[in-house]
Amino acid sequence: MGQARTAVTRPYRFYGRRQGKKRSGRQQHLLDSVLPRVLVDSGQLGDGDRPLWLEIGFGGAEHLLGQARANPGVDLIGCEPFLEGVVKALDGMEAEGLTNVRLHAEDVRPLLDGMADAVLDRVFVLFPDPWPKSRHHKRRLVSTQTLDSLARVMRDRAGLRIATDHMGYARWILSHGLRHPAFEWTAERVSDWREVPADHVTTRYQSKLLAGSEPLFLTFRRRDRAPGGEEG
C-alpha cells in the first residue's frame, strides 16, 4: 500500500464560515464529548475488509446518515467543516446508534493527504458551493488538484458522484473530469445525469432550497491503474 502524502499549507478555503448561531448545551456536549470518539484517523484507513466511502461536505448529514443506515456493511467518512452540520451528524449517529460513520470536521485536503493509496471505494460530493463569481473559481472544490488527490486514494473502478444544480459548475465539473487521465465519465444516455440515482438520499436542502431547479448527477469511475502505477 502506498504512503500518505505530506500535508501542505493552502492559501484559500473551499467554504465560508465554520459557525452559525450560538450552540445549545447539548450541541456543545456533542462536540466536546462525542466528536473526539468518532474522529477519523486517516493513517488507519484501508486496513479492514469492509468497503470505505467518503462524503465531502455532508451539510445537514441526511445523505451521510441515510447511506450509513442503508449500508451497515460499509464504513463511511463524513467531511464537513461547518460545525452545525457536524452537530447534526453527531446527533443522528447517537440517536440511531450508527457505528459505521467517522467524521472529519475540517478541510478535506489534509484528510486526503493523510490517506494511503487506493483505500476508498466510493466518493460523494453533493451540491458543493458553486462559487459563481469568476474571481472565486479558485475556491471550487472540484479542481485538477482535488481530482489528483482523489485519484490517488480511490481504488480502481471506484465511483465518484458529484451533484450540482448550477449549470456553470456542471460544465466546470465535466471539463475537469473528462480531461483528467484517472477518471472516466460513466454516462451513456441523458437520463444517467438528469435522473436521481436509485440509491440517492434526498436531503432537505435539495427538497427546499433547490425546489424548481434541475440538479444534475455526474458520475465518474476511477480508471484501472496499469502495472507500475501508470493510468490505464
Catalytic residues: 129
Only one residue has cell 450509513, namely: 68
Cite the beta strand spans of 4-119 per DSSP E. 52-56, 75-79, 101-104
Cite the beta strand spans of 44-179 per DSSP E. 52-56, 75-79, 101-104, 120-126, 154-164
Please name the helix (run of DSSP H) or strand (run of DSSP E) that holds residue 185, with its range, or none. Answer: strand 183-185
**Packed helices 62-70 and 83-96: angle between N→C axes, nearest 10 degrees:** 30
Cite the beta strand spans of 27-176 per DSSP E. 52-56, 75-79, 101-104, 120-126, 154-164
> Is 80 in contact with 58 (CB distance < 8 Å)?
yes
